[in-house]
Structure 1
Amino acid sequence: MPRLGSGIPLVARTDEMRRLRAAFAAAERGEAGAVLVSGDAGVGKTRLLTELAEHAASRGALVLTGRCLDVREGGLPYLPFAEALAPLSLDEDPVVAEAVRVRPALARLLPQGAMPPAPDGEYPGPDTSGERDVPYRVRQEQDLGQLQLFDAVLGLLTQVAAHRPVVLVLEDLHWADSSSRNLVSFLLNRLRTQRLLVVASYREEDVHRRHPLRALLVEMVRLPAVEQVELRPFGTAEARAFVEALADGPLSPEILAGVAERSEGNPFFAEELMAAGVECRDLPAGLAEVLLARLERLSPEARRVVRTISAAGDSVAHAALAEVTGLDELELDEALREAVHHHVLVIERGAYTFRHALLQEAVYADLLPGERVRMHGAYAARIERTPQGRGHDAKLAYHSLRSRDLTTALPALLRAAEEAERLGAPGAALRHIEQALEIWDAVPEAERPADVGELKLLQEASYFAATSGEPERAIAYGRSAVQNLGPDVPAEKAAKAWRRLAEVLLNAEGTLDEARAAINRAWELVAEGEPSKTRAWVLATRAAILRNAGQYEDSSWNAHTAVADARAVGATGAEAAALVTLGALADSAGEPEEARERLREAERKAVESGSLNVGLRAVCFLAFSHEDLGEYGAAMEIYQRGIERAEQTGLTWSIYGLEMRARHLTLRYLTGDWPAMASTNAPARGVSSVLAARMTAAWLPFAVARGRVATAEKYLEELRPHWRAEPLTAIVSGATGAELAFWQGEYQQALAWVHKVTDFLLAFDEGYLLATVRLGALGVEAAASWAATARRRGDEGLAAQAAAAGRKLIEHVRHAGAHGKPRARTLGPEGRAWLARAEAAASGLDGPADPSLWAVAVAAFDYGAVYEQAVCRWHHAEALLASHGDAGLAAKELLAAHEVAERLRAEPLRDAVREVARRARVDLPGVAPEPRPRPVVDPLTGRERAVLERVALGRTNKQVGEELYISEKTVSVHLSRVMAKLGASRRAEAVAIAYDRGLLT
């Protein structure tokens, strides 16, 4: 169940809370003020005011809260003030009690019987007879006219505010009666030097032009003491954060985005949608009732217009409304004016639409079935008569489908899909094709478009699914297409279907054998034929699949033959696809210059032919070529170019559009160009969860390196179900899971992550052997730290166990480095650096690590991996200090590592560097040395005290030496001096004397 109401942390609203707190701070200083908080229903006004009230109360303020009620005609006079002031009649504070007692006019507001006696001991109740014989002065006090009441309220608040700050909160002022509005005006006009803050909230959407509060608002906002705070709906990122806060556990990216989008940033709407269930597609009944209640205030004509607009699915122009509603111009004008004034409709670009999409949903769901069909039919008829324009066919298809005119809907859907593709919206094109497939059998064969068949629709659905980020559906449609092939289907047409299936299978994990079988079937159908576009494409796709399968010679023959066929028939797109494969083959052969020339030519030809996916593939492989050789600057520029092209063409979530985004982010991590953590990994609606996981994985290293433990753990949990579908996600999970455990000191858990993911990868595909080098290196580091920790505690058995685990891992790393197959045949700088790091870490399994090996690792990461090099510098400094090496060099390494950690806000590394620097007495810029309180008479030197402190903790001389980077013999010498100075004959006695004399605390 979701968490609702005030139990949810306040999300966003930072600026609004700052302004409210500033107003309260001014009131504390004796600068009285008022704040008018406006916003739509459910936007969070009460939640914001509750937060202010808690803040004010925590600072000793008296918080008085009153609420107006929607009682329509008449209303209850002074209701919010009566509720706010009622607690004062029972307040035990003598100052408050006195302030109430001396103001008999407050009897009209306080509960009956709660009013204390008047100054003369007489209760000034209402004079029902009108003839009470009392002195003139008392009659004046008993005059309960409005002015006396207003003065009494102001005087009460002023007197109490002199004793302690007062915050008067008035909620839902749009429902206030006229008397309450007058009293609000009176108070705000007399705010001077009281320690008083008045905060009033109202619904902006309810205050239409003729609303009685509007005139008061115009008056109040002119007052110098009054400030306005408009509470707007959440932005996209804020809405997602709020929905996450509502949920008990993790939500899938699609559900998270769906609820955030449907609520349009309104917290109440989000709560209702979550309460109805995250899979809820219909509008929850409770929310629908709340929304529809607003329509009850409208006239019948206005409700008719609103219902008509609800069926449009978009904003509606005045002329269209006149035609569809059948109202005359004057009736329509008045109805629209009424709906706009009541904030049901808004005007956007000269057309009318709903203020909130959920209101449109509620009104549309409330239509009777016959009403819906008639309205949609009327809209469809009008659209058919209007001139063509962008979105024309999509609108015609929408209304034709809902008015059950399937004969008109089918061709309109096909034209809409073509337009969506031209506009770079493959997701929209997919939806149109899927709708066409749904109604295909329901449309008589004679009335279907002559040049389109079900087979073609299935192939197009496969293509659009792949380009819009849904590879699983692309495969499903591709399989359906080949199952739909009959014996009478021409060979070339059948070959297209098999090639399409092979292509989508190529981009999925674990389907290489099926892809090879599919493309071979396509080749069989065209192998004996003359060169053609279909044959060229089959050859190009076959070349790519055979390269992935490691059949390089066969791949090369198919690619060269594809180029020849394509040039013979003018199939430039197929030629470009084959050139990409030839470029990739050249890279694998260790010929980067030839590879890049091929890939640049492929990109040019793909752009010329409009082969968008092929163009992205060419750019992606060109960047791979630079990245594999550690040329990260060039690779990042190329990736960025590809990302921009993918965005421009609507292919952001295609296989290569996604891959370039993920790789670009990974290179930013390696090179130290770290972005702020954000929700940019959020996928578009409908994007495959596998692809969404790929982007989440790209963000995970940042979360771990910056110490965002909760975020990292959440990401790791989300990614686990996607390992098999995308092994790269498993690789990132293993590495970051191990790093997270390492920084937390959970070395066994780090090793568990390494073994779990390594075993998974090798069982899945031995081709991932090289990817386990980094995993193994991280595992060796964890084992070395585990062994060192065990030795410091004197647990030699555990230290031996940890060292054995590390030795087993380093053997695996060496094997993987020697037998793994890099993309460019030779191991690149990244692989060599991780091998060096693993060897350096392994040198510390049985004792202090070898500083010279860590120096090699530092140098190996000098190819641009800024963060990883900083980690190696930290280890290098530790090794130097532990082996009594060059202390000056150790200090330089710590300074360099600290600078990187500070710049990147890599908190775990920063803290680790500072700890080593503290123990080695190395001053770091911007880090104040820890205070060292000392007694007045202190015979011990700093080093002697450091030794004695660790002896007091139960450390052995060897362990003390390891922690302070001194030899065991030097520790013994320091202890001998300490015992001599303190007059002790044993270590334990020295510790006891030091505690007694205050030398140890």
Structure 2
Amino acid sequence: MPRLGSGIPLVARADEMRQLRAAFSSAERGEACAVLVSGDAGVGKTRLLTELSEHAASRGALVLTGRCLDVREGGLPYLPFAEALAPLSLDEDPVVAEAVLVRPALARLLPQGVMPPSPAGEHLVPDTSAERDVPYRVRPEQDLGQLQLFDAVLGVLTQVAVHRPVVLVLEDLHWADSSSRNLLSFLLNRLRGKRLLVVASYRDEDVYRRHPLRALLVEMVRLPVVTQVELRPFGAAEARAFVEALADAPVPAEVLAGVAERSEGNPFFAEELMAAGVECEDLPAGLAEVLLSRLERLSPEARRVVRTISAAGDSVSHAALAEVTGLDELELDEALREAVHHHVLVIERGAYTFRHALLQEAVYGDLLPGERVRMHAAYAARIGRTPQGRGHDAKLAYHSLRSRDLRTALPALLRAADEAERLGAPGAALRHIEQALEIWDAVPEADRPERIDELKLLQEASYFAATSGEPERAIAFGRSAVHALNRGVPRETAAKVWRRLAEVLLNAEGTLHEALNAINRAWELVADSEPSKTRAWVLATRAAILRNAGRYEDSNWNARTAVADAKAVGATGAEAAALVTLGALADAADDPAEARARLREAENKALESGSLNVGLRAVCFLGMSHEDLGEYDAAIDIYRRGVERAEETGLTWSIYGLEMRARYVSLRYLSGDWPAMASTNAPARGVSSMLAARMTSSWLPFAVARGRVATAEKHLAELRPHWRAEPLTAIVSGATGAELAFWQGEYEMAVARVWKVIEFLLSFDEGYLLATVRLGALGVEAAAVWAAGARLRGDEGAAGQAAAAGRKLVDHVRHAGANGTPRASTLGPEARAWLARAEASASGLDGLPDPSLWARAVEGFGYGAVYEQAICRWHHAQSLLATQENADLAAKELVAAHEVADRLDAAFLRDAVRELARRARVEIPGVTPKPLARPTIDPLTERERAVLERVALGRTNKQVGEELYISEKTVSVHLSRVMAKLGASRRAEAVAIAYDRGLLAQGAQTP
């Protein structure tokens, strides 16, 4: 029997181990950090982390390890964290005990924290948020709230880390549920000044482009505390050394070479090949066969046990195996001993599991259909008889579905959705409800849970889809619920269904008319009734939709009536929703003080009532109130708080969770607080492609400004199909597409891109007129440079075409500024700044630009738009140099623009500023122009050479002067000196001599 990798010294992983130990050393010093370990299945991630854990434990660290499981049907929220933190409940260290005791919210994750049982006969998902308006059951008072759970996990790790280093190891992150991913993101964003190391592993090949983990990885690698370790397959020499270490007896060299070659550098494959037999020619052709060949060496009883464990989807206790396999104790002991001895199974925390997930997958895939059904049925029967605990119903539903026991699966799915929602996992709850809908008709009516019908499930599915980032599916479920209404449905129930549909339609583009119709149907059903929670929610939702439709007076009446009804019946969530609308109306009436007071009150009442979505909406509108007035610092702080709350409550990809994340990123761009860049921050599978596009577009300006041309072009193409579903994506990607063309010198293309987006937006909805001001200003800017370049070349036709295109855009910008509808009654500082920039650019359409107008543009962006102001400073310097008005001021503007561009790594602007400074002979602090190497003695000065280079390109003296910011007379003087030095009598002769002597680079010559 060959030795396994865990029994031999670590081979060929010295560099990776050094990185992990260095990370642990940093954590010991109080410099918390995280490491992401990636690699293919079987490449040795677990072995490496085991080595790290042993090293950390030997130095007194507390090592907590949790693993994710491949349970696709809904999953178990927070499973890896629950497993990792479980030892804390049994730790006798008083420090640990105290840290756990003072955080009751941890009861959700620790073994003794069993969720309170549901009231008898009630199985529907609880009403954890009053905004759902589906109060089928009241949340138990013992529920401490998902909002506390994340802080409790961070707090217990932090408190223990004060006394000893803590290492949190999370394995197989590619199988992590959305709740676990959110909690991990929360922790990594708060790793500061703690003796804490977080290490997470995942299969690199499984994280495809649309895998749900991909968005989190993109987010995490931007964090300064996170490093990556990529575990690659062994090279040829390393693979041979590993195989030699595996062999516990002399093995022929040709066999060692064959195994090393066949394993393709994968340690686990090498182990399995060695364990299958040493005769190379007898080795099975496929890996699955290699893995399964291990079982042929086991006794029938051992094979039976191994197959039984493969169907569990988790580690299995001895008692469970005894019951499911039907073996007596002696037979089971011998079978398990044999499977462990042959390294098929391992014992972890008193339970049995496969040594490697690949082996479990191979064994399960080899089961016969009848075997699978029987095994899953046996597991389901056992789970049904055991005491309830965390994940109990999700496991029961999983095995019941696999064993086709739909009568048991249906109520288990509903209870699992209940638990998933309480744990802040709306995505998992949605999958459970969807599965319940799939089997609904297959379950006899008599066997369905009481007081549950398909209509209620459709409403639940719509709610969970909306809160987990799938608005299109939320609308589809809402419409299905409306279609399921029949004449026997009570009026109040029908009103709830219509209101639910109206609410999800409100958050989608192009559905305002349908939303109005839906909420009016709901209002017709309750308008003549006495105040009730349902009536209050209908009024609150109607107020929000009417505000969006621009019917402010009607919106105000509905909102105030909703507040009165809500107070009368104690519907605090509905009251909060109506207060948000009143706050937005106050902002529109230019009363920000009133607006913010209403919004803060709404946020507090939403938190009080557990209306999490309403609370996020209140925070989002509060942030927009500050953003509209250019108060970026305050808005950024508010959005950051909103994003954190969305993460803590599992609502990261809800409508307002996403909106605040996108606005937070955009404001960081404008304010000059640029994070480290990655290609995209888009979510992936399980989140709507529309929302993914929105997040990608929010990061696109960074990619363009920093010169990531390939990335920007790729995402611009990907975003185009999403314009209609999310016009904000069109606005951002259209503007950045025009900017990219501008920086690349494709000015005509930039103008064309601007018009394409403007025409799309106005054909889609004229309400986007004001949003075209910025787009139009960028187009005017490109047209002005296009016209100036054409004039410099003497191409009057092109110059006229460019100027005409610019004037058309200027007219549009002026019209949009005068007739567009801002959120408030007057234009905010951002719109005014872009209008000033458009006018400044327009001054250069037919001649030299006006420095005074560019000075106004610089001043206009002084409200906090750091990067845009730097661009305007660059243009201002150009205009000052071109008109020869104030060279000193031009130099100051260039230095200021360069400082911003260099700090932000804005490559395009930085290069443009340096080129302008070089031509104008302005010294930029810290930038030393590189001298050109000359093959011969060069008699020309830099200025003379610059003049001759432009003469060689066919420029007139006037054009050369305009380009170099000197007078036409000065150009003539320089040319006279050049001709005298080169012995030339004409301009063309001087150019030819300079080329012959290597004084000019080969390029365009005088025509």
**Band of TM-score, shorter chain:** 0.7 to 0.9
Q: Give the match for residue 590 of structure 1.
A: 590
Give the partner amino acid of 1:409: A
Separation in 1, partners of 2:630, 2:14: 43
Q: Give the match for residue 899 of structure 2.
A: 899
Offset of residue 336 of structure 1? 4.3
1:169 to 218, 237, 241: 237
In structure 2, relative to structure 1, the CA distance for the partners of 1:179 and 1:922 (3 Å cut) is farther
Match status 1:577 vs 2:577: yes
Please give the per-residue CA displacement for 1:901-941, whole angstroms capped at 9, x wherever unaligned. 11111111111111111111222233222214568866544
Note the residue ranges of structure 1 that are not aligned, 5 or more in a row.
1-12, 20-37, 46-166, 185-198, 215-284
In structure 2, relative to structure 1, the CA distance for the partners of 1:998 and 1:580 (3 Å cut) is closer
**Quick check: 1:467–1:654 contact (8 Å CA) kept in 2?**
yes
Offset of residue 432 of structure 1? 1.2
In structure 2, relative to structure 1, the CA distance for the partners of 1:695 and 1:357 (3 Å cut) is farther
Separation in 1, partners of 2:886, 2:347: 74
Please give the per-residue CA displacement for 1:290-345, whole angstroms capped at 9, x wherever unaligned. 65455445554443233212211233233222321234445545544555566654
TM-score (norm 1): 0.72
Q: Give the match for residue 433 of structure 2.
A: 433
In structure 2, relative to structure 1, the CA distance for the partners of 1:14 and 1:469 (3 Å cut) is farther
Please give the per-residue CA displacement for 1:125-159, whole angstroms capped at 9, x wherever unaligned. xxxxxxxxxxxxxxxxxxxxxxxxxxxxxxxxxxx
Q: Give the match for residue 371 of structure 1.
A: 371
**Quick check: 1:677–1:702 contact (8 Å CA) kept in 2?**
yes
Separation in 1, partners of 2:428, 2:730: 31
Please give the per-residue CA displacement for 1:50-73, whole angstroms capped at 9, x wherever unaligned. xxxxxxxxxxxxxxxxxxxxxxxx
Identify the structure with bigger relative contact order (alpha carbons < 8 Å, sequence gap 6+).
Answer: 2
Offset of residue 624 of structure 1? 0.7
Matches within 5 A, 1:450-469: 450-469=450-469
Separation in 2, partners of 1:202, 1:547: 61
In structure 2, relative to structure 1, the CA distance for the partners of 1:943 and 1:678 (3 Å cut) is closer
Give the partner amino acid of 2:715: Y
Matches within 5 A, 1:102-117: none
Separation in 2, partners of 1:449, 1:895: 72
Offset of residue 546 of structure 1? 0.4
In structure 2, relative to structure 1, the CA distance for the partners of 1:709 and 1:343 (3 Å cut) is farther
Q: Give the match for residue 504 of structure 1.
A: 504
Match status 1:836 vs 2:836: yes
Separation in 1, partners of 2:654, 2:799: 49
**Quick check: 1:643–1:660 contact (8 Å CA) kept in 2?**
yes
Separation in 2, partners of 1:743, 1:451: 63
In structure 2, relative to structure 1, the CA distance for the partners of 1:663 and 1:355 (3 Å cut) is farther
SS in 2 for 1:169: helix
**Quick check: 1:705–1:908 contact (8 Å CA) kept in 2?**
yes
Please give the per-residue CA displacement for 1:446-494, whole angstroms capped at 9, x wherever unaligned. 2222211111111111111111111111111111111111111111011
**Quick check: 2:741–2:749 contact (8 Å CA) kept in 1?**
yes
**Quick check: 1:466–1:654 contact (8 Å CA) kept in 2?**
yes
**Which deviates more, 319-328 or 861-870?**
319-328
Offset of residue 626 of structure 1? 0.6
**Which deviates more, 543-552 or 864-873?**
864-873
**Quick check: 1:466–1:655 contact (8 Å CA) kept in 2?**
yes
SS in 2 for 1:171: helix
In structure 2, relative to structure 1, the CA distance for the partners of 1:898 and 1:303 (3 Å cut) is farther
In structure 2, relative to structure 1, the CA distance for the partners of 1:757 and 1:290 (3 Å cut) is farther
Separation in 1, partners of 2:446, 2:248: 70
Offset of residue 763 of structure 1? 0.1
Separation in 1, partners of 2:370, 2:540: 54
Please give the per-residue CA displacement for 1:738-769, whole angstroms capped at 9, x wherever unaligned. 11111111112111211111110000000000
SS in 1 for 2:847: coil
Q: Give the match for residue 691 of structure 2.
A: 691
**Quick check: 2:540–2:577 contact (8 Å CA) kept in 1?**
yes
Separation in 2, partners of 1:679, 1:342: 46
Q: Give the match for residue 739 of structure 1.
A: 739
In structure 2, relative to structure 1, the CA distance for the partners of 1:288 and 1:523 (3 Å cut) is farther
**Quick check: 2:44–2:267 contact (8 Å CA) kept in 1?**
no
**Quick check: 1:40–1:205 contact (8 Å CA) kept in 2?**
no
Please give the per-residue CA displacement for 1:786-808, whole angstroms capped at 9, x wherever unaligned. 11222222212111111111111
Match status 1:304 vs 2:301: no
In structure 2, relative to structure 1, the CA distance for the partners of 1:386 and 1:861 (3 Å cut) is same
Give the partner amino acid of 1:403: S
Q: Give the match for residue 393 of structure 1.
A: 393
TM-score (norm 2): 0.72
Separation in 1, partners of 2:731, 2:241: 57
Note the residue ranges of structure 2 that are not aligned, 5 or more in a row.
1-12, 20-37, 46-234, 255-262, 279-284, 1002-1007
**Quick check: 2:42–2:268 contact (8 Å CA) kept in 1?**
no
**Quick check: 1:40–1:204 contact (8 Å CA) kept in 2?**
no
Offset of residue 372 of structure 1? 1.0
Separation in 2, partners of 1:688, 1:289: 39
Give the partner amino acid of 1:721: P
Q: Give the match for residue 528 of structure 2.
A: 528
**Quick check: 2:628–2:828 contact (8 Å CA) kept in 1?**
yes
Offset of residue 204 of structure 1? 5.1
- Sequence identity percentage: 82
Separation in 1, partners of 2:652, 2:997: 71
Matches within 5 A, 1:711-860: 711-860=711-860
Please give the per-residue CA displacement for 1:819-867, whole angstroms capped at 9, x wherever unaligned. 1111112111111111111111111112221111111111111111111
In structure 2, relative to structure 1, the CA distance for the partners of 1:884 and 1:368 (3 Å cut) is same
Please give the per-residue CA displacement for 1:970-1001, whole angstroms capped at 9, x wherever unaligned. 21232233334444332122333444566545
In structure 2, relative to structure 1, the CA distance for the partners of 1:717 and 1:968 (3 Å cut) is same
Offset of residue 14 of structure 1? 13
Match status 1:478 vs 2:478: yes
Q: Give the match for residue 223 of structure 2.
A: none
Give the partner amino acid of 1:448: R
**Quick check: 1:683–1:692 contact (8 Å CA) kept in 2?**
yes
In structure 2, relative to structure 1, the CA distance for the partners of 1:345 and 1:971 (3 Å cut) is farther
In structure 2, relative to structure 1, the CA distance for the partners of 1:903 and 1:408 (3 Å cut) is same
**Quick check: 1:169–1:200 contact (8 Å CA) kept in 2?**
no
**Quick check: 2:579–2:602 contact (8 Å CA) kept in 1?**
yes
Separation in 2, partners of 1:550, 1:504: 19
Separation in 1, partners of 2:242, 2:536: 71
Offset of residue 962 of structure 1? 2.1
**Quick check: 1:172–1:200 contact (8 Å CA) kept in 2?**
no
Offset of residue 957 of structure 1? 1.3
Match status 1:407 vs 2:407: yes
Q: Give the match for residue 58 of structure 2.
A: none
Separation in 2, partners of 1:362, 1:645: 41
Q: Give the match for residue 627 of structure 1.
A: 627
In structure 2, relative to structure 1, the CA distance for the partners of 1:426 and 1:980 (3 Å cut) is same
Radius of gyration: which is bigger?
Answer: 1
RMSD over aligned Cα atoms: 3.2
Matches within 5 A, 1:114-125: none
Please give the per-residue CA displacement for 1:598-641, whole angstroms capped at 9, x wherever unaligned. 01111111111111111111111111111111111111111111
1:203 to 253, 267, 281: 267
Separation in 1, partners of 2:837, 2:474: 42
Offset of residue 183 of structure 1? 8.8
In structure 2, relative to structure 1, the CA distance for the partners of 1:997 and 1:647 (3 Å cut) is closer
Offset of residue 171 of structure 1? 3.4
**Quick check: 2:566–2:575 contact (8 Å CA) kept in 1?**
yes
Separation in 2, partners of 1:17, 1:801: 64
**Quick check: 1:208–1:343 contact (8 Å CA) kept in 2?**
no
**Quick check: 1:531–1:568 contact (8 Å CA) kept in 2?**
yes
Offset of residue 495 of structure 1? 0.5
Please give the per-residue CA displacement for 1:267-302, whole angstroms capped at 9, x wherever unaligned. xxxxxxxxxxxxxxxxxx967556545544555444
Match status 1:493 vs 2:493: yes
Matches within 5 A, 1:273-422: 288-289=288-289, 292-293=292-293, 295-296=295-296, 298-329=298-329, 331-333=331-333, 335-336=335-336, 339=339, 344-422=344-422
Separation in 2, partners of 1:355, 1:759: 60
